[in-house]
């Protein structure tokens, strides 16, 4: 069960059960829809940007524990951050989940993101973890169309 | 009752399981519990060996050479066609067309039937429980020919709404294409009734038998269906081979699907004469080893007997339904009175994708997702299900292991 425990850490289970920043944010300045056609996961990301700052952000939709907790953790992390900071985080996240298993992620730098290191053991689930982040990228870069991780 | 008891004694599960080498595999350190049989079935030694022997001793191209190996290969290939014909009760061997699978068989029929028989405004009638492979080829053909795709709805228990079916059968309907057994709900459709009602209006019927031939005795003459499609790999045979059965009276007038070698009698640059049935529909070198493997699979299950298999599986299904339905927070999707070997379910608080990962780590293979039936998911207002699907080599003990793992997953998430 150890790899499973790595994947489904308490933080992830908690965010899955009690997602933060959940629900539509209306009106908002930025919005994007994310789909994972393979498993039917679907999340909308709403953001209110004040200049370059993400003043408020929320998500709504349905998906597995990995995709949902990832969206929930993401929204808590980027709220109040600048667009550039959020983009760095998106990159860090992507690097983390695609990093080879024998490489140790820098937990100090990653902070809360590090809980997703366990996803690497489950290649089929990397897309689940990434969905919200891809969608955030599309939202803040103002490409207001549905994107997918396929 | 006695006869039944006797027949069940003849069903020796231990020796059957020994025929399937993969059932001894360990997955994440646990003995494999394979409950994803609707996706594909495992292969008995006999099938693996038949293909191995073909490549070791007979490999050569068919219908071409005068040399001994080519003759032998041709003979084995055509022998397999006879086995398929006997297996589904087809009156004539030339009514059996080898394809790459069910999907390929339906695409063949849609393209060929469409070209010959479909005009603007005509209707094709399918159902809301079709696999994407019995939706998309018809959609593509309808788009091309400006025809209309009509869909028979399903009831809450996952059975076909027969009243709606009768209402939707119209003068414009040119073909009914319906799944025999649903892969996501397990429903066994009343196909005999469907065929009679369609025939009363002179409408031909295609049955998608991808989930039927491995679970129930199928006789195309008794059913009186006009076309029947299935895949080798779901029938304990190899991937890359499938079958389209069609009544000769239909097939002989349909145009070829693909052009190439084997499907011709004579080629000049001015005109090509097409070969006779079934070769008209088999362009190019076919999957020879796979066809021979399919023949071996049919020999194997015929040795056990489809009636036996059906009886054993209905016991297993009843057990699976009872055990899984009894787990708190579980809802079974697909509870039709006539069901075969599929238990689809959702769990309040646990997403199917997470369920699949937890079960996998316990060595249990199930399918999670939409099962290539997105309209079914939409009909039931769910994104996905977890699906346990059975074969005759599964056991009650395996189902117990699975139930335990489902309970474990629920504990983790809820
Ligand atoms: C009911 C049904 N029809 C068609 C298919 C397609 O079969 P294949 O992928 O072998 O062509 C499947 C396979 O999942 C099925 O379950």
Catalytic positions of B are 372
* Contact check, Cβ <8 Å, A40/B357: no
Say yes or no to pLDDT of A146 above 70.
no
| Cis amide prior to A53 (ω within 30 degrees) | no
Q: Write the burial class of residue B46 (CB in 10 Å: 0-12 exposed, 13-18 middle, 19+ buried).
A: middle
Query: Which of A8, A40, A125 lies closest to B369 in CB terms?
Result: A40
Q: Where are the domains of chain B?
A: 3-31+305-413, 48-303
Q: Which of residues 110-129 of B touch A (CB under 8 A)?
A: none
A77 close to B (CB below 8 A): no
The per-residue pLDDT for range B208-243, each reduced to its tens digit, is: 999 999 999 999 999 999 999 999 999 999 999 999
Query: Which of A39, A66, A128 lies closest to B384 in CB terms?
Result: A39
CA A1 to ligand 1 center in whole angstroms: 34
Q: Which residues of A touch B361 (CB under 8 A)?
A: 1, 3-4
Select from B346, B383, B404, B408 the residue whose CB has the most chain A CBs within 10 Å, as the one to mutate to test that interface.
Answer: B383
Q: A145 falls in which pLDDT band (50, 70, 90)?
A: very low
Instruction: Establish, for the pair of chains A and B, how many residue pairs have beta carbons separated by less than 8 Å.
Output: 50
What's the pLDDT score for residue B10? 66
- In this structure, whether the domain defined by B3-31+305-413 belongs to CATH 3.90.1170.50 is answered with no
Query: Which of A17, A40, A125 lies closest to B357 in CB terms?
Result: A125
| Strand-strand pairing, B30-31 and B26-27 | antiparallel
- CATH of segment(s) B48-303: 3.40.640.10
Of ligand 1's listed atoms, the one at least distance from the Cα of B371 is 14
Say yes or no to pLDDT of B246 above 80.
yes
Q: For chain B, how long is the longest CA-to-CA vector?
A: 72
For chain A, the average pLDDT equals 90
* Contact check, Cβ <8 Å, B353/A42: no
Query: Which of B353, B361, B374 lies closest to A64 in CB terms?
Result: B353
**Cβ(B20)–Cβ(B372) below 8 Å:** no
The per-residue pLDDT for range A84-133, each reduced to its tens digit, is: 999 999 999 999 999 998 888 888 888 889 999 999 989 889 999 999 99
Mean pLDDT of B28-43: 97
Residue A130: closest CA among A46, A76, A52, A64: A64
Mean pLDDT of B397-401: 98
What's the pLDDT score for residue B11? 84
Report whether residue B368 contacts ligand 1, using a CB cutoff of 6 Å. no
Domains and CATH numbers, chain A: 3-144 (3.90.1010.10)
DSSP H helical ranges for chain A: 2-7, 10-17, 65-78, 83-98, 107-110, 126-140
B368 close to A (CB below 8 A): yes
Secondary structure (3-state) at A27: coil
Q: Tell me how far the alpha carbon of residue A39 is from its chain's centroid.
A: 16
Q: Which residues of B touch A4 (CB under 8 A)?
A: 357-358, 361
Tell me, yes or no, if the pTM score tops 0.90: yes
Q: Which residue of chain A is at minimal alpha-carbon distance from B30?
A: A1
Mean pLDDT of B66-70: 93
* Contact check, Cβ <8 Å, A8/B412: yes
The per-residue pLDDT for range B87-114, each reduced to its tens digit, is: 999 999 999 999 999 999 999 999 999 9
Report whether residue B208 contacts ligand 1, using a CB cutoff of 6 Å. yes
Mean pLDDT of B156-179: 98
- Nearest 5 degrees, angle CA B235-CA B240-CA B243? 60
The per-residue pLDDT for range A60-76, each reduced to its tens digit, is: 999 999 999 999 999 99
User: Å from B384 to nearest chain A CA?
Assistant: 7
**Cβ(B217)–Cβ(B342) below 8 Å:** no
Selected residue with higher pLDDT from B271 and A79 = A79
Report whether residue B183 contacts ligand 1, using a CB cutoff of 6 Å. yes
Task: State how far the Cα of B35 lies from the Cα of B399, in Å rounded to an integer.
Answer: 9
Beta bridge partner(s), residue A53: A50, A82
* Contact check, Cβ <8 Å, A64/B361: no
What's the pLDDT score for residue B1? 45
Q: Tell me how far the alpha carbon of residue A3 is from its chain's centroid.
A: 21
* Contact check, Cβ <8 Å, B354/A17: no
Select from A18, A19, A39, A120 the residue whose CB has the most chain B CBs within 10 Å, as the one to mutate to test that interface.
Answer: A39
């Amino acid at each position: 069960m150890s790899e499973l425990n790595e994947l489904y850490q308490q933080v992830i289970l908690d965010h899955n059960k009690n997602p933060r920043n959940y629900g539509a944010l209306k009106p908002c300045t930025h919005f994007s829809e994310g789909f994972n056609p393979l498993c039917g996961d679907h999340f909308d990301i709403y953001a209110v940007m004040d200049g370059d700052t993400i003043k408020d952000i929320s998500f709504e939709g349905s998906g597995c524990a990995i995709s949902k907790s990832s969206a929930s953790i993401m929204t808590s992390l980027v709220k109040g951050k600048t667009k550039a900071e959020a983009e760095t985080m998106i990159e860090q996240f992507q690097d983390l989940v695609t990093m080879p298993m024998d490489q140790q992620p820098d937990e100090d730098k990653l902070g809360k993101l590090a809980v997703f290191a366990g996803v690497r053991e489950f290649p089929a689930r990397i897309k689940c973890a990434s969905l919200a982040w891809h969608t955030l990228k599309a939202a803040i870069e103002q490409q207001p169309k549905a994107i997918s991780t396929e | 009752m006695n006869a039944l008891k006797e027949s069940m004694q003849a069903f020796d599960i231990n020796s059957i399981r020994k025929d399937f080498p993969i059932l001894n595999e360990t997955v994440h350190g646990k003995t494999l519990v394979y409950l994803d049989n609707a996706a594909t079935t495992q292969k008995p030694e006999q099938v693996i060996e038949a293909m191995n022997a073909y490549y070791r001793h007979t490999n050569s191209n068919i219908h071409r050479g005068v040399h001994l190996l080519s003759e032998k290969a041709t003979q084995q290939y055509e022998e397999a066609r006879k086995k398929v014909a006997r297996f589904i009760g087809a009156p004539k061997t030339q009514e059996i067309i080898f394809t790459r699978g069910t999907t390929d068989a339906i695409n063949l029929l849609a393209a060929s039937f469409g070209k010959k028989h479909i005009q603007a405004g005509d209707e094709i009638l399918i159902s809301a429980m079709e696999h994407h492979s019995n939706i998309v080829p018809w959609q593509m053909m309808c788009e091309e020919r400006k025809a209309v795709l009509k869909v028979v709805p399903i009831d809450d228990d996952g059975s076909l709404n027969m009243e709606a079916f009768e209402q939707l059968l119209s003068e414009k309907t040119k073909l009914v294409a319906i799944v025999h057994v649903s892969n996501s709900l397990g429903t066994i459709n009343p196909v005999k009734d469907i065929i009679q009602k369609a025939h009363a209006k002179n409408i031909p019927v295609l049955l998608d038998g991808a989930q039927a031939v491995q679970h129930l005795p199928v006789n195309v003459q008794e059913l009186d269906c006009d076309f029947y499609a299935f895949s080798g790999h779901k029938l304990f045979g190899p991937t890359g081979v499938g079958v389209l059965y069609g009544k000769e009276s239909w097939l002989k007038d349909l145009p070829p699907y693909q052009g190439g070698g084997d499907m011709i009698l004579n080629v000049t640059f001015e005109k090509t004469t097409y070969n006779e049935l079934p070769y008209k529909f088999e362009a190019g070198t076919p999957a020879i080893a796979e066809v021979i493997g399919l023949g071996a699979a049919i020999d194997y299950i015929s040795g056990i007997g489809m009636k036996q298999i059906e009886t054993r599986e209905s016991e297993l299904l009843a057990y699976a339904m009872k055990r899984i339905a009894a787990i708190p927070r579980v809802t079974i999707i697909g509870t039709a009175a006539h069901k075969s070997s599929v238990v689809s379910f959702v769990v309040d608080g646990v997403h199917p994708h997470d369920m699949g990962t937890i079960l996998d780590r316990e060595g249990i293979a199930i399918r999670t997702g939409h099962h290539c039936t997105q309209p079914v998911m939409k009909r039931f207002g769910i994104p996905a299900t977890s699906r346990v699907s059975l074969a005759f080599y599964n056991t009650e003990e395996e189902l117990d292991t699975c139930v335990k793992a489902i309970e474990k997953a629920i504990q983790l998430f809820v």
